[in-house]
Structure 1
Amino acid sequence: MVGIEELKDRLPSEISGGQQQRVAFARAIVYDPAVLLLDEPLSNLDAKLRERMRFEILELQRKIGITTVYVTHDQEEAMVLSDEVMVMDFGKVIQRGAPEDIYFEPHNEFVADFIGKINFLHGAVKSRRDDGSVVSIQEGSFQSEIHTTRTDYAEGQKVLASVRPENIIIYTDKQQEEVNIWPVRLVRKNFLGGLFDMVVEVNGKELRCRTPFRVNAKIGSDIYIQIEPKDVLLIGID
């Protein structure tokens, strides 16, 4: 089942890290436990092997059908492997739900910041209509407005307007006047193989951006960003 038949005559020192994990998994399931606890089983593996083993563990778990509690500090691992994610802080459950719900609908700042990368803009709800809200942004010298389709909070409520880096659209040329468009300065640009990871600055406020598209702009140059209202999440501030 776990593909280790050919390893039966080898010593532990003669098998790879991935093979060692398969052996450990086999030892754990041989007694058909009611619940299987995996405590950071992939933490000692290199990145490529860790990625492959995630899918192998997921496939094996589905084959044997044992309820599995998987402990990890790797957020991507949690998203890939879980039917349900539980985020805890100091032993207290803050939020539990499907990976998509945790990522796209975090209940508070801690969960939003813990799962994935996110930009926070402090402000207050300026106006609210049936189709969305306008938030007055107050981030030092960055004073602006951001439109969102969210209607969760009343006018005057202090909020964090929150945006995932992959939801920030990058333009090198000036765009037509629309909502949520700002001129920014490119501070950092790193190529990660499948995407560009960038930091831009607008009136002293830095924002993280990620895009799969090549951005033909040099560090220090002026570019433009846009955020669609549907991608702006609001989190209340007590």
Structure 2
Amino acid sequence: MRILVLGHGKTGKLVAEVASERGHGVNVLDARENQNAAALTPAFLAGFDAVIDFTTPEAVIPNMRACLFSGARMVVGTTGWYSKLKDMRDLAERKDAGLLYGSNFSIGVQVMHQLAEQMGAALSGAGYDFAMSETHHITKMDKPSGTALTLVDAVVQGSSSAGKTGIAKEHIPIEAIRDGDAPGLHVLTATSGADRLTLTHEAFSRRGFAEGAVRAAEWLATRKGCYDFREVFTKL
């Protein structure tokens, strides 16, 4: 495969390294080479089987519009743009493109999503107060993290699907901490007057995110449509 990596930050560099290790040809564009998606012409994109974006919330929308308009297969690990998800999904479907997005490409975090949903279902109406805490490196753009937001959504979804008194999203506080070079720590707690249940995922490095993104690109290369990584990670 030929993979185009957008973004030359720490995660983008690691994505390129992992893709190369897995035998793929890799081209990397940084922000200076691709201002306002100017480099992403149909002719240029035709040379790649998949595009992986780890840029910024400001850059990702122009990148997505250019790639999806050209019918490219695109994996998006950037967060902070989900208010435009419907528009991007519609564009991918109109142009027979492929879009796979996720707030976190770690397999461990995907399992944490499932467990958070189970916690919401089991503890809703049982006198538990939920809280979310996330810690990331000081250069992370979005705050709170997309992963923290989707974990809260999982709790709410679980509580609603259980047919019990639903847990309101606004009643789950999120503490966002930016510290040094921390790759990612997410802690979900459910506390009652009698006990506390804690669910934790700690990333030791960004490699798990990079490996998940590359495997996602391999899977998406022969498909079209729009996919949430949470829904397909077990198929990779």
Q: Which has the higher helix share?
A: 2
TM-score, normalised relative to structure 2: 0.28
Q: Which has the higher strand share?
A: 1
Higher relative contact order (CA 8 A, sep 6+): 2
Work out which of the two has the higher radius of gyration on C-alpha atoms and give 1 or 2.
Answer: 1
